[in-house]
């Protein structure tokens, strides 16, 4: 499995590759990259938390937007990166400067004020993240309280977790009053096969409890770089289970990796051809589903209007 390597609690990880492979298919208008991060160039203005698991190099707004353009993505969803903890300032500033093109996933404590949540909603935040894999995140203890706080805003919760822990958490996750999204196809090694208890539990959340899944981070769960062919059965199974609740994300800038493990973001996008050979299903994953979850326009006329005003 391609995993992070560490020489300390805040080791310096690699930067993303500068070039992006050409599309292997026609990327539809309205396509959304639902999972990426930004890291400010000015470390003094946006300090990272001491308890972080790694230290990323800068991945500022301009490089992020250039990546979206290179990948053919009309829209993007920014996810608050763990190294900033609950300091969402940089992500919110990027959202504020790109109101038509971007939405956001924030990280907050249960003590966050209603005014703060409403201010985040105004600039495009539509979700809160629960993260138990990297230092700086908010864990499972807060999920019920946070779910209650965001229910009336129409937001959802997003989970960065290894789904091998899902069987014991299922009773709680099934009762949450908001939709749930699981990152990176469950973030568990695929070498165990699709019959593992964790993946079976993820499928149960999807088929019986309306959960969504991000088809992202193949390089984090695969043993077979650079094509990640061992991920195909997992992605295809999830798509077959609920094509109307699958999302695609680049996971740019691919943090917590050594240079030799850094994937090509364009090749990651092109994996969707193997996962969803039918154009109609790809359109659902790239356009229809994220438009519904994050509130992006889906029709060509609406997209043109949004881009003109963005």
CA contacts within 13 A on the Cβ side of 28: 21
- Residue 251 appears among annotated catalytic residues: yes
Task: Please pick, among 230, 251, 264, 301, the residue that the annotation labels catalytic.
Answer: 251
Give me the active site residues, please. Answer: 251
């Amino acid at each position: 499995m391609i995993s992070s390597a560490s020489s300390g609690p805040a080791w310096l990880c690699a930067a993303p590759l500068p070039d992006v492979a050409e599309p292997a298919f026609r990327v539809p208008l309205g396509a959304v990259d639902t999972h990426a991060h930004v890291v400010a160039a000015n470390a003094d203005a946006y300090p990272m938390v001491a308890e972080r698991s790694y230290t990323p190099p800068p991945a500022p707004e301009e490089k992020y937007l250039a990546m979206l353009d290179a990948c053919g993505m009309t829209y993007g969803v920014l996810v608050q990166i763990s190294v900033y903890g609950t300091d969402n300032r940089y992500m919110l500033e990027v959202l504020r400067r790109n109101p038509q093109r971007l939405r956001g996933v924030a990280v907050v404590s249960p003590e966050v004020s209603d005014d703060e949540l409403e201010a985040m909603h105004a600039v495009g935040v539509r979700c809160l993240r629960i993260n138990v894999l990297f230092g700086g995140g908010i864990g499972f203890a807060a999920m019920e309280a946070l779910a209650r706080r965001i229910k009336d805003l129409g937001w959802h919760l997003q989970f960065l977790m290894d789904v091998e822990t899902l069987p014991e958490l299922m009773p709680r996750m099934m009762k949450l009053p908001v939709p749930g999204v699981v990152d990176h196809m469950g973030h568990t090694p695929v070498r165990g096969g699709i019959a593992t208890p964790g993946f079976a539990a993820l499928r149960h959340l999807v088929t019986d409890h309306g959960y969504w899944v991000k088809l992202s981070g193949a390089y984090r769960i695969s043993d077979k770089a650079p094509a990640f062919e061992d991920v195909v059965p997992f992605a295809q199974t999830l798509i077959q289970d609920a094509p109307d609740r699958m999302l695609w994300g680049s996971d740019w800038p691919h943090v917590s990796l050594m240079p030799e493990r850094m994937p090509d973001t364009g090749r990651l996008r092109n994996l969707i051809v193997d996962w969803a050979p039918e154009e109609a299903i790809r359109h659902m994953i790239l356009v229809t589903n994220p438009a519904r979850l994050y509130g992006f326009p889906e029709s060509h006329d609406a997209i043109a209007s949004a881009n003109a005003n963005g």
